[in-house]
Structure 1
Amino acid sequence: MKAASAVPQSPIAFLAVALAFAINMMGTTLPTAIYRYYQLQYGFTPTIITVIYASYAIGVLGALLLVGNWSDQLGRRRMLLAGLCASAASALTFLLSDGLAPLMLGRLLSGISAGIFTGTATVAVIELAPPAWRGKAMLAATASNMLGLGCGPLLSGIIVELFPWPTRLPYAAHLALVGVAALVILGVPETAAIPARVKLCIQRISLPAEVRRAFIPAALAGFAGFVVVGFFAAVAPQLIRVVLGFHSGIVTGSIVFLLFACSALGQIVQTIIAARWRQAAGCIGLVAGLVCVGLCVPERSLGALLLGTALAGVGQGISFRAGLGEIASAAPAHRRAEVTSSFFVVLYVAISLPVIGLGIAVQLADIQRATLLFVGLTIVLVLIALFLLMREQADTGQESRAIGD
């Protein structure tokens, strides 16, 4: 739907929505540095911790499928405020939680807020970008998303290390930030042309025949990248404590922040790589990063983990942005939203089911063996994606030569 014609595209409104986007996404990773306190307080097993974490994906998928396209009908600002309300409800639920059920509900509400924001805020940032900034608007939206995800563990890590009430105070701080974001959004102009007759429907998920060949390797690479994201958000804190011996929340939060910051960097770097090599470069970065993460276990090396985190983050950012662009360009214009939604469904499944499996592996074996198993299986998955990418490029090259002949 077209943006409202009279909307002033100002730098202030553009930056305001990007800030609100980052604040909202910050809440989705806030518990990362707090999970160990839940384990101590309630005696949760590693499997329970990963199930709490994965409840988030259910909320995201539900919101993407049910309300993913509602901002075209109800307006961007109204849906952004709804997302912030879900984020505030999540923070309140965590703030008042006293056991497993409220914690899972808090994660579910956090997922709903992210599902609303993922599409709506991205579109709003692009529509509000001044003409001079239009070429960088998509990058600003994805960077706001990733940096917000990275700031969540960093904020909670600092708070739990320096202040009392580690299972309460981080959520109180985020609740205050959500209030600021809501005030900011109230002052932003509406960019959608709201129809006189509202027609709400569920977002369709489909995969046209012409996009399937590009979709499969991109989805596999994206899946592997988001499995890595899930590992760092849910399991890496235990690896940092048990294997490397660092118990500081600031250290944990900083390492997880490094992953997301490097993901944002990867999305910038991919623009200087030739289009045909972007996804392959992302896969190579993921493999190199995973090898370093695996090496940190026997070597008990923080340096190996930091290098692996940086390389995996850059690889994830490249493969995610390049894969999304490849799929969007291959899809018919009138079905692009459906194809993109299918891609995001794959990604959010990746940060739930495999991470639960990893939590079970940690409980049955130990964090060292589970990490090495995770690294090995994820590398295999990335290599399969890389093989499919290379085969697709070879087939495309043969077709091009045949047409030229």
Structure 2
Amino acid sequence: MQAYLAVALVFMINMAGTTLPTAIYHDYQRAFGFSSATITVIFASYAVGVIGALLTMGNWSDQLGRKRMLITGLAASAVSALTFLFADCLAMLLLGRLISGVSAGIFTGTATVAVIESSPPESRAKAMLAATSSNMLRLGFGPVLSGALVEFAPWPMRLSYIAHIALLSLAVLLLRGSPETVRVSEHPKLRIQRLALPRGVRAAFVPVALSGFAGFVVIGFFTAVSPQVMCDVLGYCSGLLIGLAVFLIFICSAIGQAFERRIAQQWRQRVGCVALVVGLMCLIVCASQRSTIAFLIGTILCGVGQGISFRASLGELSNRSPAERKAEVTSAFFVVLYVAISLPVIGIGIAVQSLGISRATIAFAVVTIVIVLISLVLLRRVEKPQ
């Protein structure tokens, strides 16, 4: 196996673990008597760990080495799985998600760069695709794995984590056989990642950050709240079906990212945002009419739109950023994205308790549509003639 494929497989195994609880949330809710808001808080604690790791360790692999940081990320993932395995209270579930977020924060930048650096020049384009668009596929494998085990195997709240620990052992073996791609510093000077926006980037950052924010709010909704929509609104409570539905939005996001380059540059953000808006309108129809077809179409369009707008946003920021400031700008962008995947979802959980799942879904879709439309208006103002 080529080195970059081995590192990509390690990336997949680790990130799949971050979405394992998705198909198990319903079991946690029944077993511990949690409210919808509590479930979304458990989900959102993941983002706290991601943001903390991005800010503190985002650039450490440049000095400590890619492999050393990836091993650290795998170790954090194993600790998270063990915490979930023995969890018997809310505090342990929160801790497990927090540590899982730390693992993802370490991997998000380091593994992406490691996959690309491990590839030979003739495979660089394939490696870049494996490191970017396929990341969503990795996240989608977790709910499918846990959903299948919840549906057909014993120990619904335990077995998924045992399986993940076994896969992490395989990941360590793959990583040990992979080459180090940077020179390890003998006297590393570690520092917190600085977040800053160069003057020439600020005007463009707001609209692309808003569209990225909206896309990741949608991802957060599907990962944390859509299981309740499927069960309470549509009547599908199968763990496997819930896992497949969550996988669908991730695979559609990957398709959107792969398709993005085929769209003329000036239209990429617009196409992605329009797909998001139409997908969210389908969610409104789903919640009001209890329509499974509307849910499926909305999931597909939201996934494709999120993928297109996400990759277009990254490309826009990269093109406008000075070479020596790209990492800072990208880190700032990812912080916005992980805030989007956490805080709004807690708000949705609170809304579910007061409004009910159908009305809360409609309110979520309307607010998110407004955010997307605002981003389109602002994007038009900062566009330069091609």
Per the shorter chain, which TM-score range? Answer: over 0.9
Q: Point out where structure 1 has 5 or more consecutive residues left out of the alignment.
A: 1-10, 401-405
Shift of 1:68: 0.5
Q: Report the 3-state secondary structure (helix = DSSP H, G, I; strand = E; otherwise coil) of the residue aligned with 1:34.
A: helix
Q: Within 2, Cα distance between the matches of 1:371 and 1:232? A: 11
In the other structure, the counterpart of 2:56 is: 66
Q: Where in structure 1 do 4 or more consecutive aligned residues deviate above 3 Å? A: none
Q: Report the 3-state secondary structure (helix = DSSP H, G, I; strand = E; otherwise coil) of the residue aligned with 2:252.
A: helix
Question: Which one of 25, 37, 41 corresponds to residue 47 of structure 1?
Answer: 37
1:239-277 alpha-carbon deviations (Å, 9 max, x no partner): 000000001111110010000000000001101001111
Shift of 1:111: 0.1
In the other structure, the counterpart of 1:98 is: 88
Quick check: 1:21–1:144 contact (8 Å CA) kept in 2?
Answer: no
Say whether 1:303 aligns with 2:293: yes
Say whether 1:167 aligns with 2:157: yes
Quick check: 1:47–1:359 contact (8 Å CA) kept in 2?
Answer: yes
Question: Which one of 318, 343, 351 corresponds to residue 361 of structure 1?
Answer: 351
In the other structure, the counterpart of 1:56 is: 46
1:51-81 alpha-carbon deviations (Å, 9 max, x no partner): 0000000000000000000000100000000
Say whether 1:205 aligns with 2:195: yes
The residue correspondences of 1:335-350 to structure 2 (distance < 5 A) are 335-350=325-340
The alignment's TM-score, normalised by the length of structure 1, stands at 0.94
Shift of 1:26: 0.5
Say whether 1:75 aligns with 2:48: no
Name the count of aligned residue pairs. 386
Shift of 1:194: 1.5
Q: Report the 3-state secondary structure (helix = DSSP H, G, I; strand = E; otherwise coil) of the residue aligned with 2:2.
A: helix
In the other structure, the counterpart of 1:236 is: 226
The alignment's TM-score, normalised by the length of structure 2, stands at 0.99
Quick check: 1:25–1:149 contact (8 Å CA) kept in 2?
Answer: yes
Q: Within 1, Cα distance between the matches of 2:128 and 2:302? A: 22
1:16-71 alpha-carbon deviations (Å, 9 max, x no partner): 11111111110111101000111111000001000000000000000000000000
Question: Which one of 106, 110, 121 corresponds to residue 131 of structure 1?
Answer: 121
Shift of 1:195: 2.2
Percent identical across equivalent pairs? 63
The letter of the residue matching 1:118 is T
The residue correspondences of 1:4-403 to structure 2 (distance < 5 A) are 12-393=2-383, 396-397=384-385
Q: Within 2, Cα distance between the matches of 1:202 and 1:392? A: 31
1:96-151 alpha-carbon deviations (Å, 9 max, x no partner): 00000000000001000000000000000110112112123222101332111001
Q: Within 1, Cα distance between the matches of 2:127 and 2:256? A: 16
The letter of the residue matching 1:282 is G
Q: Point out where structure 2 has 5 or more consecutive residues left out of the alignment.
A: none
Q: Report the 3-state secondary structure (helix = DSSP H, G, I; strand = E; otherwise coil) of the residue aligned with 1:113.
A: helix
Q: Within 2, Cα distance between the matches of 1:126 and 1:106? A: 30
1:284-319 alpha-carbon deviations (Å, 9 max, x no partner): 111111111111112211111111101100000011
Q: Report the 3-state secondary structure (helix = DSSP H, G, I; strand = E; otherwise coil) of the residue aligned with 1:167.
A: coil
Q: Report the 3-state secondary structure (helix = DSSP H, G, I; strand = E; otherwise coil) of the residue aligned with 2:315.
A: helix
The letter of the residue matching 2:299 is T
CA RMSD of aligned residues (A): 0.9
Shift of 1:165: 0.7
